Amino acid sequence: DGGITQSPKYLFRKEGQNVTLSCEQNLNHDAMYWYRQDPGQGLRLIYYSQIVNDFQKGDIAEGYSVSREKKESFPLTVTSAQKNPTAFYLCASSMMGVGYEKLFFGSGTQLSVL
């Protein structure tokens, strides 16, 4: 079945540690996205990528990094510079083209600080 796989489902970060959230899709979508969701809040864009080896910062990119070495994969690293990383992280993908912006979401990763 086609879809987006995020792992792990739960992740704990120690002070000063970098952690990487995985996102893989087999939908053959060109565009991939990372959103952050805090309790009672909507989704805020961290990074997005429209093509391999290229990505753009979203509204809250500070303290995060991404790579897009393969079309299927868009991992997110939460660095030690992100001082408040506790949140629900959602990866999504979409086709390119107006009218095709429907986002397909993964099941999310809940990141907490130890």
Partner 1 sequence: QKEVEQNSGPLSVPEGAIASLNCTYSDRGSQSFFWYRQYSGKSPELIMSIYSNGDKEDGRFTAQLNKASQYVSLLIRDSQPSDSATYLCAVNPLNQAGTALIFGKGTTLSVSS
- Is 44 one of the binding residues for partner 1 (CB under 8 A)? yes
Instruction: Single out the residue of 67, 64, 112 nearest to residue 88, CA to CA.
Output: 112
Q: From the CB of 61, what's the least distance to partner 1, in Å?
A: 12
Contact track, partner 1, 73-102, x by CB under 8 A: -----------------x---x-xxxxxxx
CA–CA distance, 65 with 20 (Å, rounded to integer): 9
CA–CA distance, 81 with 32 (Å, rounded to integer): 23
16 vs 99, beta carbon nearer partner 1: 99
Q: From the CB of 43, what's the least distance to partner 1, in Å?
A: 4
Whole-number Cα distances in Å, 7 to 49, 96, 114: 19, 25, 19
Contact positions toward partner 1, by CB under 8 A?
A: 30-31, 33, 35, 40-45, 48, 50, 58, 90, 94, 96-103, 105-108
